[in-house]
Amino acid sequence: MIRIILNTLKWIAISIGALVVCLLLFIGGLYIYYEYFYQEWYPARIERITDIRVPKFEVTEYVAGPRSFTGDYNDTYFIEFKTIPSDELFDEIDRKIAKGGTGWKRDGKKYSFSVIWGNGYSTPKGESEDADGIFDITMTRGEKEAIIHSGAW
């Protein structure tokens, strides 16, 4: 009788152990997916890279670009600002464009910022120096919508 109880307890312990290992692998997989494949662009990160203060926004559409076997990708985020970006924001960008070398460009009412890093290109403040990256944001003066392109190369 004691042998049956001990055998049962042994199999319960093995089952619980296997369940814990599976859960840890699942959680680890989610972490890896989040850290390495899902790039979240939030205002503080954009502000750090572009050196301008952007209004809060929400992603209205996300389009995942193709992934290569080396981990390269190029995703598109369609965003909508909570409020129309102020004229002061665009005036600040105009000053940065006039200064030059900031990554900002203007074409009529369209403003864009573009940067790549890695493979010899300098890394923006706060980004990982171990990873290659691409970031581009395009906004239009007087509109709430903007587009972000990001990826790795």
Q: pLDDT tens digits for 11-47?
A: 998 989 989 988 888 887 666 555 544 457 788 888 9
- Give the angle 151-123-71 at the CA atoms, nearest 5°: 30
pTM comes to: 0.70
Tell me if residue 23 falls in helix, strand or coil.
Answer: helix
Secondary structure letter of residue 66 according to DSSP: P
Give the C-alpha separation, 50 to 93, whole Å.
10
Confidence band for 121, pLDDT divided at 50, 70 and 90 = confident
CB 136 within 8 A of CB 112: yes
Question: Exposed, middle or buried: residue 93 (CB in 10 Å: 0-12, 13-18, 19+)?
Answer: buried
CB 15 within 8 A of CB 7: no
How does pLDDT run across 102-115, given as a tens digit for each residue? 899 999 999 999 99
CB 141 within 8 A of CB 90: yes
